[in-house]
Amino acid sequence: MYTMNTVNDYTFSEKLKELLLHLGFSDKVSAYVVDFSVLFIIFLGSIIIYYILKFILNRFLTKLIDKSVSKWDDYLHEEKVFTRLALLIPALIVQFFLNSVVTSHPHAIHLIDVVLKLYMVAIVLLVIISFLNAVYRIYGEFEVAVSKPIKGYIQIVKIIVFIVGGIVIISTLVGQSPLTIIAGLGAVSAVLLLIFKDSILGFVAGVQLSSNKMVKIGDWITIAKHNADGIVVDISLVTVKVRNWDNSLSLIPTYALISESFLNWRSMMDAGGRRLKRSFLIDIRSIKAADQNLLEKTRDFITSENFLVNSTERLTNLGLFRHYLMHHLKKVPEINTGAGILVRLLQSSETGLPVEIIVYTRFPDYPSFENFQSELFEHIYSILNSFELSAYQQSSGLDK
């Protein structure tokens, strides 16, 4: 079989060379054309083989993936790991036949060999990057991905891969060993550190954020310096993306989260509720002693007769109201009574007497919490008149 192929190749080459000589080409040019025509035919054949194998591979992988329950093979296929790996086939075929086809042209062999090596390095880099992307997507299917994101680690690995690939490409072009290139990089290490300063700081910050569980995707954080107040949607090597409540996007340097202070509301979300701490102002002029008429008027609001009997001080309308408000809050199902309820008076000022409420609600989501808070204070302001109290409000041109 080998002899037959050799004879056929020789016959084809000789006939093509004779044709070129007959057409007036020189012997040297004819030899070049004959040798590289065979190489070109081999190259076309390798391309055809690649597309045939790619078609078979896609058909086979599609059937295999459809039968598979796991998702890792879906991600490998979607990131084109296998199809990009198949791109090496044409280069390997051409390199295999290169020395035997154009043996009389060493300079051309060297040039084509360099191009093939550069091509294969580029394809290997693409395959590794696709594989890392698939690994990141596979890892994202696990619950631990929320608390321990690896996007920063994947990005630093990609940088290392590109650096190694660049060194191999340079060594191939200059004809030197990669170790020689690496040794030469020592002289420019300071420049490299300056170029990759943000990446290095981001990597260090990512390790600290992950190991100390300082922030994770889905956390609500507030960073006043960067005008960020919203949910963390992405943590990468260099930046942390925060989607604010107005749907704007804040991009914060990862290193800023360990070098600067920020507020993380995760513990509040984990507790299943939010703290409500808010005050309202009572007009001091409306505070008075509770007479019999007021006691009769508010008897339906007072839940315990013992409160009226055991009071050591003379009752006031504000005291009655505070008693009512405390017991009202205890009966509201949306309030976590086990976390404590506090209704207190703050220092009075020229704007009135502040009454502060501190409770813990059962609403982890912001809209429901704000709706509950609004309804509670609407009720408070509407019931003040029943205790003959008035909320403080500055005079305006409409007052008479």
DSSP-H helix ranges across 140-248: 144-147, 151-174, 178-185, 189-195, 197-211
* Residue carrying the six token digits 């920063």: 152
Interior angle at CA 83, CA 82 and CA 86, nearest 5: 90
pLDDT, tens only, 283-311: 999 998 888 888 877 777 765 544 554 45
Contacts of range 322-325, beta carbons closer than 8 Å, 24 or more positions apart: 322/355, 324/298, 324/383, 324/387, 325/357, 325/380
Which residues are CB-neighbours of 261 under 8 A, at least 6 positions away? none
**Per-chain mean pLDDT for the chain:** 78
**Is the domain 205-266 a CATH 2.30.30.60 member?**
yes
Question: Could you tell me the residue ranges of all domains in the chain?
Answer: 2-141, 205-266, 271-387
| Fold annotation for 271-387 | Alpha-Beta Plaits (3.30.70)
- Whole-prediction pTM value? 0.51
pLDDT number for residue 7: 43
Higher pLDDT, 208 or 290: 290
Confidence of residue 357 (pLDDT cuts 50, 70, 90): very high
Q: By three-state DSSP, how is residue 99 classified?
A: helix
Pairing assessment for the beta strands 353-360 and 342-345 based on DSSP bridges:
antiparallel
* pLDDT at residue 76 greater than cutoff 90: no
Q: Are 250 and 197 in contact (CB under 8 A)?
A: no
pLDDT, tens only, 119-154: 899 999 999 999 988 888 888 888 777 667 777 778
Please count the other Cβ atoms lying within 10 Å of the Cβ belonging to residue 97: 16
Q: By three-state DSSP, how is residue 218 classified?
A: coil
pLDDT number for residue 312: 44
Closest CA to 263 of 207, 214, 213: 214
Report the alpha-carbon distance of residue 35 to residue 43 in Å, rounded: 13
Overall average pLDDT of the 322-349 stretch:
88
